[in-house]
Amino acid sequence: MLIAPPALDADVADVADLAPVSTPLVPAAVDRESEDALDAARASSSPAGRADGGLGFDDLARLLNSFRLLMLNHSRVLDHQGDLFGLGDTDIRFLFYVSATGDSVTPKRAADYLDLSSGAMTNLVDRLVDAGYLDRRRNPDDRRSVIVSRTPRGVEVTGAIAAVYGAAFAEVVPASQHRVLADTLLDLGQAFDRHGVGASPAAPAAA
């Protein structure tokens, strides 16, 4: 779930929540052991990590290692932001998905996207409605189902979390490259699905 916290399908991608909000955000507290592990991994993938000045990895291997570090940082940010607002990772992913659909989605569609059972989705909706992050109303097109949308509190939370990621992208990625990178990330997410979800597992090599 790279950002917005989960990567969204191209047809529901939404950047409206990247507007900064006034909610104060506290930097994530990281234990020393985790920081040492990150420093060691960064050193191994940088030219300075080898005495001979070489990369130590070919370009693709270095890219994979950098992506692994990015996912680790992303997970830490989600954990910390979730702690601030009393939300779990799945709660956050669901709120961003509701946002990306224009605040009008059925639990069944969301369950398919999040790969949750109908029972787990019902519990998730109930919990977020009770906590004041979601509203639930009757679906005008199918009275057997409901439509969920964010409340003002839900909008505030997704805006605050998105602002963290927006600030990081703005700091590192030049504005002239935002569109190209956005397209690349969408293509990469679709490639992950093709190679890691739809594909059959590779057979083990013969002994």
Burial class (CB in 10 A: 0-12, 13-18, 19+), 102: exposed
Banded model confidence at residue 64, pLDDT cuts 50, 70, 90:
very high
Mean pLDDT of 133-146: 92
Range with lowest mean pLDDT among 56-70, 98-112, 113-127, 162-176: 56-70
Q: Which pLDDT belongs to residue 91?
A: 97
The Cα–Cα gap between 107 and 12 comes to 16
Residue pLDDT, tens place only, 180-204: 999 999 999 999 999 988 766 665 5
Q: Are 164 and 77 in contact (CB under 8 A)?
A: yes
pTM of structure: 0.70
What sign has the CA pseudo-torsion 16, 19, 22, 28?
Answer: positive
pLDDT at 1 over 50: no
Q: Which pLDDT belongs to residue 197?
A: 83
Residue pLDDT, tens place only, 150-176: 999 999 999 999 999 999 999 999 999
